[in-house]
Structure 1
Amino acid sequence: MNTGSYYEPIDEHRYKPTAHAGGAWDTDEQHFSPLGGLIVHAIDRHLAARPDSGPDSGPVLSRISFDILGRLALDECEIRVETLRPGRTIELLEAVALIAGRPVVRARAWLLAPGDTTAVAGGAEGRLTPPQALKSWQMSDVWPGGYIASLDVRPLAEPQPGRTTAWISTPLDLVAGQTASPLASYIALVDTANGIAVRESPTAWMFPNVDLTIHLHRRPGGRWTGLDTTVTFGPTGQGITSTVLHDAEGPVGHAQQILTVRPL
């Protein structure tokens, strides 16, 4: 499971998931994490196709929210992107992923104009212990599925119920034959957060997330996604997975996932 990609392109808008995209709750479904990265990849391609696009021009994706609308079958998917609110300094895009013609994920991304704010930058926490100094953890001992099996997971300490900090990476490409941006590759690993700090055994309880919202105060880089994650279960069937996102240089933003918690 250490070569290949999560998706193979069919045409400009359609992609076929490989076995590496197989889910954890159901191995016949797609894990949302690589699909989230694929949606960002589609947004990148949409922006690159504009006449005024360039490697260092245009607004920067600063928040993206994904709503998971239904079952993510391990089948061909189509992604359509449109601009909802154009603007020179602030822009809103929407991307919809469809399987068998039915919307299964709806994402909205706010893009903000870049500028030099180095003089006032601050407020973030310190860096995590680098992944090169840590040992790998077999996350597949807890979760099944091709996606989980494809990961290199390196926790800073022994994972605890509801609390884990870990680095995640993968040797796989996001899309075969296409170069994904560092941002798309980074976001393709963020949804893993809900699986690294389980409060209860997934063989006794279900706690899938129905959304994922990511806020970024700077653009992440490198091949590792750092997840400083806390999971909270409430008393009436809801939970929240909250994560401070890191790259090798330090924090880059936050992610939140709302969970539906119920016994199996």
Structure 2
Amino acid sequence: MTIPAFWIPEEDDIFRATIHTQGPWNPQFQHGGPPGALLVRQMERCSPREDMQLARVTIDILGPVPITTLRAHARLVRPGRSVELLEAFLDHDGRTVMHASGWRIRLPSRRPPAPEADMPPALAGQELDPTPEWRCGFLLATEWRFVRGSYTQAGSALAWTRLRYPLIEGEMPSPAQRLIAAADSANGISSPLDIRDWQFIPPELTLHCLRPPVGEWICMDATTILQAEGVGLTTSNLYDQEGLVGRSAQSLLISHRG
């Protein structure tokens, strides 16, 4: 039987994670994309405003997120006429394992002039199955089309991706939910390190969104830089098929697996 979604709602603010949320670092814990997208959903439903959009979202991973039933809830921290600050929490057994904050900005009544859109390469390329070290529930539940690079090729990468399943059972994911679910994979596709020897885990993700993406597919043009003395940094330009929609950044914990 095919599990129909990444999350199954059980009651108000209570969601059960499915195997599709599983990440590559430990089979008992989630990839950052599905829980991050769930927190974005909760912020979108908190005192919603049609004249506003989420312009910046920061996800802080406070501990490993288990594949189990969790509580996700949001609140409006700073209401305002033009800008609002929200935050959301993902709790397990009374402890917050993931925190999100988001600035919601009012859309202009008159569109400002803008330069010609920065367009990505056309959606193309063959779908690749994850290698054993990358094989996990989330990567099997997402479709990948690499234009440049791959999970097994060191260095920067450019790839199109989409969710195979709804984020929430019986519910279409919003554009912002699709964007955050994709952006958390930027470090994985662009790392210069071999996952068999190294960990390069992001404890956070910050996403700046220019506009809601259109359609199911998200394109990431991702680069990771490392210094031998310090931490890693992944940055990515994010596109839909109509042009640039935002940028993301992730700090990376680097450690040898030996």
TM-score class normalised by the smaller sequence: over 0.9
* TM-superposed deviation, 1:2: 7.0
Matches within 5 A, 1:57-76: 57-76=50-69
Output the amino acid matched with 2:213. Answer: P
CA distance, structure 2, for counterparts of residue 117 and residue 231 of structure 1 = 37
CA distance, structure 2, for counterparts of residue 91 and residue 122 of structure 1 = 27
Is residue 25 of structure 2 the alignment partner of residue 38 of structure 1?
no
What is the SS of the residue equivalent to 2:201?
coil
- Does structure 1 retain, via aligned residues, the 8 Å contact 2:47–2:76? no
CA distance, structure 1, for counterparts of residue 130 and residue 45 of structure 2 = 32
What is the SS of the residue equivalent to 1:162?
strand
Structure with greater strand share of residues:
2
Output the amino acid matched with 1:196. Answer: I
Greater CA drift, 135-144 or 247-256: 135-144
Listed as ranges, the gaps of 5+ residues in structure 2 are none
What is the SS of the residue equivalent to 1:62?
strand
**2:121 aligned residue:** 129
Q: 1:142 to 1:222 in 2, by over 3 A?
A: farther
* TM-superposed deviation, 1:107: 0.7
**1:106 aligned residue:** 99
CA distance, structure 2, for counterparts of residue 138 and residue 35 of structure 1 = 23
Paired residues in the alignment total 255
Aligned sequence identity (%):
30
CA-to-partner distance for each residue in 1:23-55, whole Å, 9 max, x for gaps?
Answer: 11011101111111111111122234xxxx5xx
TM-score, normalised with respect to structure 2: 0.93
What is the SS of the residue equivalent to 1:38?
helix
Q: 1:188 to 1:205 in 2, by over 3 A?
A: same
Output the amino acid matched with 2:128. Answer: W
2:176 is aligned, of 166, 175, 183, to: 183
Is residue 244 of structure 2 the alignment partner of residue 256 of structure 1?
no
1:224 is aligned, of 217, 237, 240, to: 217
* TM-superposed deviation, 1:168: 0.7
Is residue 146 of structure 2 the alignment partner of residue 192 of structure 1?
no
Q: 1:2 to 1:135 in 2, by over 3 A?
A: farther
CA-to-partner distance for each residue in 1:123-163, whole Å, 9 max, x for gaps?
Answer: 75x312222x3221223455121011112111112434220
Structure with greater helix share of residues:
1
* TM-superposed deviation, 1:186: 2.6
**2:47 aligned residue:** 47
Q: 1:262 to 1:234 in 2, by over 3 A?
A: same
Listed as ranges, the gaps of 5+ residues in structure 1 are none
CA distance, structure 2, for counterparts of residue 158 and residue 105 of structure 1 = 30
Q: 1:122 to 1:140 in 2, by over 3 A?
A: farther
CA distance, structure 1, for counterparts of residue 120 and residue 106 of structure 2 = 29
Greater CA drift, 3-12 or 199-208: 3-12
What is the SS of the residue equivalent to 1:175?
coil
CA distance, structure 2, for counterparts of residue 240 and residue 82 of structure 1 = 30
* TM-superposed deviation, 1:117: 5.4
**1:24 aligned residue:** 24
**1:164 aligned residue:** 157
- Does structure 2 retain, via aligned residues, the 8 Å contact 1:211–1:258? yes
CA-to-partner distance for each residue in 1:204-240, whole Å, 9 max, x for gaps?
Answer: 0011001000001222121011110001111224000
CA distance, structure 2, for counterparts of residue 3 and residue 73 of structure 1 = 18
CA distance, structure 2, for counterparts of residue 121 and residue 109 of structure 1 = 24
* TM-superposed deviation, 1:67: 0.8
Is residue 141 of structure 2 the alignment partner of residue 150 of structure 1?
yes
What is the SS of the residue equivalent to 2:6?
strand
Output the amino acid matched with 2:122. Answer: P
